[in-house]
A and B are shown apart, each in its own frame.
Chain A
Amino acid sequence: MNDDIILDIQNVTKRFPGVTALKNVSIQVKRGEIHGLCGENGAGKSTLMKILSGVYPYGTYEGTVIYNGEELKLEGSSIHQAAELGIATVYQELTLVPLMTVGENVYLGKEPIHRKSIDWNFVYANTKEILSRYRLDVDPRATVKDLGVGKMQMVEIAKALSEDAKVLILDEPTSALTEAEIDKLMEILEILKSHEVTCIYITHKLAEFFRTTDTVTVLRDGETVVTKPTNELTEELLVSYMVGREMTERFPTGDRKPGEVIFEVQGLRATDPNNSSREVLKGVSFDLRKGEILGIAGLMGAGRTELVTTIFGEYGKITDGSIVLEGEELKIKNSRDAIEYGISLVPEDRKGQGLVLIQSILNNVSLPNLNQFAHFGRLDKDAELRASMQQASDLAIKAPNLQVLVSALSGGNQQKVVIAKWLMSDPKILIMDDPTRGVDVGAKYEIYKLMNKLAEQGVSIIMISSELEEVLGMSDRVMVMHEGRSNGTLTIADATQEKIMALATGIG
């Protein structure tokens, strides 16, 4: 019986500074099955896959992984090592070089050498062989950028599969695919199964588990909750496994009395700025009251970040719908307009979008607010310093002085710098995109307290969060998005994790 287990993960624990991402995780994957892996954002799915693919090498985690009867000891020196052993991974983001051909991509980094030169005939012949074996309908000599996303995904799979792949890990392969392309992927999975390739399938779309998988394991907060044959499960059961936990006292209590509606978004539709045929927002409506915290929940790819960056004037091209602030319809062309209207955005990617890492706290905090301090082109540095020091002390930014470079600060303090920079402009609406991502528990609590204080002072806050607990702990109301649409708004009294998950996965 034990022969049937190709991958036996035993009591694996993975710690990061300040966080334990996996706690005693044990999963047994049978040879030839499609094994679904299910869990909220941050449940530990990606960490587990990175252990299997060697991104986190042997020795950086506790516990053992038995693969094909032997302990798996990946060195992490080359990402090809796992693939050579037969464990192939297809990552969520496409990893292809767009200007190269399919064959060049499949053999990238492992080009066959014949008489000191790359053997291109071998490359194209073998790529063709792999593609036809799994009935992937792609021309090996086509340039990748000319392929659709669905075919790119197939190339990605072909690249991952070496001649004798035994296990294929698919991390959210369908997040960018259309319905027809998903159907095709499902067929490919069946073909792989007939070739005795074992699949580990990660997705946020619960329905897909019931289309393809034989077994599903649910992870929650880094722990295995349950492993069951798919036919013993329902979507409702999965949701309850995913979120079934007690709320703890992690959120400060606020004393807020939201006022009248000041901000309203109606039927907002927008397209991808780089691809006007791709609609990223397909009808979003919500309103926001003065001094309210509105949580926006949804799964990855539901369009939450696209929504707020579009409102801020820096992402999508609006094709329909209206944005109204205090009775005035806004025409926001760029972030300058948004700031002018009193809308601020704490962006999702703190280091990439929020901060100039090589500059001081002072320069970062005052950057969007220099107009306040300019007199006939000259900056009043005293006033700038005074205002920045005020913000820094209000927010309890921990640093010896404001000349410290932000790159030297902890994640929590960096986030406070981003918030400080936006509070100085005295916004009416503060949009916070995943404000506590990568922030330790103590600093999280301080950020929550700050949000409560701001709301009490009359600032309206829109908070995107991937953590359901955070959404429930902080919001007055919760708007749930699903595939570019607002799929319903719940008052906090009504909202439960199950209801939010149901709306977010589109089954509610």
Chain B
Amino acid sequence: MKDSSNLASAFRRNIQTYAIIIALIAIWVFFAFLTDGNYLKPQNFSNIFRQMTVTGLMAIGMVIVIVTGNIDLSVGKLAGFVSIVVAYFQAEIWTDVLPDQAILAATLSVFIGLSVGVLWGILQGWIISFLSVPSFIVTLGSMFILNGAILLVTQGKTIPANQPGLSYIAQGYLSPIMGWILAALVVAYLYIHMYRSRASKKKHGFELSSMAQDVGLTTFFALLVVGYVYIVNQYNGVQVPVLILAVASVVLSYMSTNTRFGRYAYAIGGNREAARLSGINIRSNIFLVFVLMGFLCGVAGVVLASYVGYGTIAAGQGYELDVIAAAILGGTSTLGGVGTIWGALIGALIMSSLSNGLQLMNVAPSWQYLLKGVVLVLAVYADVTFKKRS
């Protein structure tokens, strides 16, 4: 009796999370139906996840930016700029300096790409936090500047970036055996984590949720992991870029709840004045948030270069819209103070599921944009209505 009421209240609290998962499943079923099941076949399933990685990498950073009450409009262009810088070094520099050193060249490219992202983040963060220029303005200006920079570097031409070392980043797959080993490790960790968390609760004399409930929940997540690996192994195996996104998400999620940096970010967004009077250094915290965002744009840019295999003037065009939409779909409040990394991931997955499905059905890009816009507004409207009721 008590358990069922607990479940009911937990359900009410997380209705937003469930609503978006239900939306995701609805989208999958819808497209699967329209494409005679092709949509959910291993190859396409694997592609949907691969397609979400660039957006996803930036969306998890955008959550933190929006949580602090800021916005970053420059993410798409920054990732685009990083991708053409990486392509430029791959095609123009390393071929002369480091011929036949694919791995070393790729490593250096990655390092340069990440550095460009971080440096841009430092610059933006410094102007926003220490010179007190609103982030909306700074990042809007930054968008124009990066657009110009992209044209300068490419000279309007397309730069190839399809060398094997670099290509592995976004186009590589783990062997099925590696995939299963990874899945086993994750599942083992899930159960160990459950055990530890129960032990800790017990130590503090907290009411424990029933063993069956905890085991059930952990098993559910374990099955998700196993099921995912099973499906993608039927195509090429676990996708390297998805692995990168997963690792980044775990790190960011940990940062957001288990470090001062993360906790301060939520406090600043929740009540800036209370945070200030609690002795939090608001400026340096927001500065760091933008440096982190820059770093993630760097990662996204490297993956982007590897994914498309060349750098073009259109690189990253319009990605900021997908990124912000993913964060908002995932339950991030535009008022600040609220938002989760996992929510943003599901938001990014919804965006890529929509794009992929529409492409599969040969829907014209004009209608793709139109539908994405409608979905975003509908999702937020549903969220607002749910909140009013509860």
Q: Decide whether A and B assemble into one complex.
A: yes
A interface with B by C-beta (< 8 Å): 312, 314, 334-336, 338-339, 345, 347, 352-359, 363, 367-368, 370-371, 374, 377-379, 381-382, 385-386, 389, 401, 421
A353 to B273, CA, bound (A): 5
Q: Are B337 and A356 in contact (CB under 8 A)?
A: yes
Q: Are B273 and A357 in contact (CB under 8 A)?
A: no
A334 to B279, CA, bound (A): 8
A336 to B283, CA, bound (A): 13
Contacts of A377 in B (CB 8 A): 259-261
Known: A379-B258, A381-B258. A359 touches B270 (CB 8 A): yes
Q: Are A339 and B279 in contact (CB under 8 A)?
A: yes
Contacts of A421 in B (CB 8 A): 278
Contacts of B260 in A (CB 8 A): 370-371, 374, 377, 379
Q: Are A385 and B277 in contact (CB under 8 A)?
A: no
22 CB contacts below 8 A, A to B, read A312-B277, A336-B280, A336-B281, A339-B279, A352-B274, A353-B274, A355-B274, A356-B270, A357-B270, A357-B271, A358-B270, A358-B338, A359-B267, A363-B267, A367-B275, A367-B278, A368-B278, A368-B280, A377-B261, A379-B260, A381-B258, A382-B204
- Whether B193 sits at the interface, judged by CB under 8 Å, is no
**In this complex, what residue of B is CB-closest to A382?**
B200
A359 to B276, CA, bound (A): 16
A369 to B40, CA, bound (A): 49
Known: A378-B259, A379-B259. A345 touches B270 (CB 8 A): no
Contacts of B275 in A (CB 8 A): 356, 367
- Whether B12 sits at the interface, judged by CB under 8 Å, is no
6 additional contacts (CB under 8 A) given A356-B337, A367-B274, A367-B278: A312-B277, A336-B280, A347-B277, A353-B273, A370-B260, A382-B204
A401 to B259, CA, bound (A): 22
Contacts of A382 in B (CB 8 A): 200, 203-204
- Whether B266 sits at the interface, judged by CB under 8 Å, is yes
Q: What DSSP secondary structure best describes chain A's contact surface?
A: helix
Contacts of B206 in A (CB 8 A): 401
A374 to B277, CA, bound (A): 20
Q: Are B274 and A336 in contact (CB under 8 A)?
A: no
A356 to B268, CA, bound (A): 9
Contacts of A401 in B (CB 8 A): 206
A353 to B260, CA, bound (A): 20
Q: Are B276 and A335 in contact (CB under 8 A)?
A: yes
A78 to B75, CA, bound (A): 46
Nearest-CB distance from B281 to chain A (Å)? 6
Q: Are B274 and A356 in contact (CB under 8 A)?
A: yes
Known: A357-B270, A357-B271, A358-B270. A345 touches B258 (CB 8 A): no
Known: A355-B274, A356-B275. A367 touches B281 (CB 8 A): no
Contacts of A374 in B (CB 8 A): 259-260
Contacts of A368 in B (CB 8 A): 278-280
Q: Are B267 and A335 in contact (CB under 8 A)?
A: no
**In this complex, what residue of B is CB-closest to A380?**
B258
Q: Are A378 and B270 in contact (CB under 8 A)?
A: no
The 4 closest A-B pairs by CB, nearest first: A356-B270, A368-B278, A339-B279, A336-B279
A336 to B276, CA, bound (A): 9
A323 to B273, CA, bound (A): 24
A352 to B275, CA, bound (A): 10
A389 to B200, CA, bound (A): 14
Q: Are A367 and B267 in contact (CB under 8 A)?
A: yes
Nearest-CB distance from A176 to chain B (Å)? 22
**In this complex, what residue of A is CB-closest to B200?**
A382
Q: Are B204 and A389 in contact (CB under 8 A)?
A: yes
Nearest-CB distance from A314 to chain B (Å)? 6
Contacts of B273 in A (CB 8 A): 352-353
Contacts of B203 in A (CB 8 A): 382
**In this complex, what residue of B is CB-closest to A339?**
B279
**In this complex, what residue of B is CB-closest to A354?**
B274
A335 to B278, CA, bound (A): 7
A352 to B279, CA, bound (A): 15
Q: Are A385 and B258 in contact (CB under 8 A)?
A: no
Tell me the chain B residues, 200-215 only, with Cβ under 8 Å from chain A: 200, 203-204, 206
Contacts of B266 in A (CB 8 A): 356, 359, 363
A370 to B267, CA, bound (A): 12
**In this complex, what residue of A is CB-closest to B207?**
A401
Q: Which of B204, B263, B276 has the most CB of A within 10 A?
A: B263
Q: Are A358 and B337 in contact (CB under 8 A)?
A: yes
Contacts of B276 in A (CB 8 A): 314, 335
Instruction: Kindly identify which residue among B204, B279, B280 contacts A386, using a CB–CB cutoff of 8 Å.
Output: B204
Q: Are A356 and B263 in contact (CB under 8 A)?
A: no
**In this complex, what residue of A is CB-closest to B281?**
A336
Contacts of A339 in B (CB 8 A): 279
Known: A335-B279, A368-B278, A382-B204. A355 touches B263 (CB 8 A): no
Contacts of B271 in A (CB 8 A): 352-353, 355-357
Q: Are B204 and A385 in contact (CB under 8 A)?
A: yes
**In this complex, what residue of A is CB-closest to B278?**
A368
Q: Which of B203, B266, B270 has the most CB of A within 10 A?
A: B270
Digit string of B234-269 for contact with A (CB within 8 Å is 1, else 0)? 000000000000000000000000111101101100
Q: Which of A314, A352, A353, A355 has the most CB of B within 10 A?
A: A353
**In this complex, what residue of B is CB-closest to A376?**
B259
Nearest-CB distance from A404 to chain B (Å)? 12
Nearest-CB distance from A266 to chain B (Å)? 25
Instruction: Kindly identify which residue among A338, A347, A356, A378 contacts B267, using a CB–CB cutoff of 8 Å.
Output: A356
Instruction: Kindly identify which residue among A314, A353, A357, A379 contacts B263, using a CB–CB cutoff of 8 Å.
Output: A379
Contacts of B281 in A (CB 8 A): 336
Nearest-CB distance from B58 to chain A (Å)? 24
Nearest-CB distance from B289 to chain A (Å)? 15
Q: Which of A356, A357, A378, A382 has the most CB of B within 10 A?
A: A356
A368 to B275, CA, bound (A): 8
Q: Are B263 and A370 in contact (CB under 8 A)?
A: yes
A389 to B206, CA, bound (A): 11
Nearest-CB distance from A364 to chain B (Å)? 8
Nearest-CB distance from A117 to chain B (Å)? 33
A370 to B206, CA, bound (A): 22
Nearest-CB distance from B159 to chain A (Å)? 39
A352 to B277, CA, bound (A): 11
Nearest-CB distance from B301 to chain A (Å)? 26
Contacts of A312 in B (CB 8 A): 277
A339 to B276, CA, bound (A): 12
Contacts of B261 in A (CB 8 A): 377
Contacts of B267 in A (CB 8 A): 356, 359, 363, 367
Contacts of B338 in A (CB 8 A): 358
Contacts of A389 in B (CB 8 A): 204
